[in-house]
Amino acid sequence: MIIENPEQLDKLRKSGKILAETLALVSEKVAPGVSAQALDQIAEENIRKSGGIPAFKNYRSRKGDPSFPASLCVSINDEVVHGIPSRDKILSEGDIVGLDLGVNYQGLFTDAAITVPVGKIEKKLESLLETTQKALENALSAIKPGATTGDLGHAMETTAKLSGFQVVRELVGHGVGLSVHEDPEIPCFGKPGSGSKLQEGMVIAVEPMINEFGWEVVFADDKWTVLTMDAGRSAHFEQTLLVTKDGCEIITQV
């Protein structure tokens, strides 16, 4: 979407604040032995207590597909994104867990994700998390009016490859604001100058998804969970931001 008035911007910022604070709260509870369902419950309770609505709960991406049954996506190790939380899904020492969350505040939507370690993790996984976070930072630094989605994708892919990792090619970032997913699509790869041009006032969600080994992914039978094809681990970071005349404002940052 394109922000058209101060009222929309105020609501968008409130939505982002609720999301950022909730994601921080949930990440503090990550520990060995904790269930994904417990994290989901914490997220939903905090969003509703803050005056928001969980944007992912009962969301359906395509007609005929099952709706997402939870407020928080909890993706462990080789689950790239959209992992469904359950009571039996238990975090273990050495895991990495992606926490992806959406908030609707009075009709304005925001979307963000982080990947965090569960206890002590191996050095390669530390590098995977650091690289994915750096890929997001590099993409955000490329944002300005007139920049393209290919510029952002190129920044993400280049960062991943420098550390020996691969970006996911079948999933994308996206516009956001008046719904969970809007145009334009923002792939994690691309050629500089290609794709859609960014405009001042545009609201987008940029989200590098980076795999330990190959880029290929598969969908689980639940039609939501996306996994690496080769069982390598995957990391995911995401921010909702507003394109400004000088760069961008991160909306989902505490």
Answer whether residue 1 is part of any domain.
no
Distance CA 87, CA 36 (A): 6
In a domain, 61, yes or no: yes
What single-letter amino acid sits at 2?
A: I
Buried b (16+ CB within 10 A) or exposed e, 227-241: bbeeebbbbbbbbbb
Whole-number average pLDDT of the chain: 97
Give the confidence band of 45 by pLDDT, cuts at 50, 70, 90: very high
CA angle 146, 148, 149 (to 5 degrees): 150
Within-domain flag for 45: yes
Q: Residue 6 has what pLDDT? A: 96
Please say if the pLDDT value at position 254 is more than 80: no
Q: In what order do the strands lie in the sheet with 248-250?
A: 182-187, 172-175, 203-206, 239-243, 248-250
Instruction: Strands of the chain (E only): list them.
Output: 53-54, 72-76, 79-81, 96-105, 108-117, 166-167, 172-175, 182-187, 203-206, 209-211, 217-219, 226-228, 234-236, 239-243, 248-250
Q: State the average pLDDT over residues 100-127.
A: 98
Tokens coding 168: 């996911």
Q: What is the pLDDT of residue 65?
A: 83
User: Percentage of the chain surpassing pLDDT 70?
Assistant: 100
Domains contained in the chain, number:
1
Flag whether 23 is in a domain. Answer: yes
Least confident of 58-62, 115-119, 158-162, 174-178: 58-62
pLDDT tens for 192-238 read: 999 999 999 999 999 999 999 999 999 999 999 999 999 999 999 99
Check whether 169 has a pLDDT greater than 80: yes
Domain contains 221: yes
Q: What is the pLDDT of residue 61?
A: 80
Residue with the two structure tokens 């080789």: 78
Tell me, yes or no, whether 55 lies in a domain: yes
Please give the model's pTM, rounded to 2 decimal places: 0.97
What's the pLDDT score for residue 218? 98
Please report, for the domain that includes residue 22, its CATH number.
3.90.230.10
Specify the pLDDT at position 43. Answer: 98
pLDDT (mean) for 3-32: 97
Task: Tell me the residue range of the domain where 13 lies.
Answer: 6-250
Contacts of 161 (CB under 8 A, 6+ apart): none
Per the listing, tokens 């597909």 go with 65
**pLDDT value at residue 145:** 98
Does residue 62 register a pLDDT over 90?
A: no
Q: How confident is the model at residue 63 (pLDDT cuts 50, 70, 90)?
A: confident
> Average pLDDT, stretch 128-134?
98
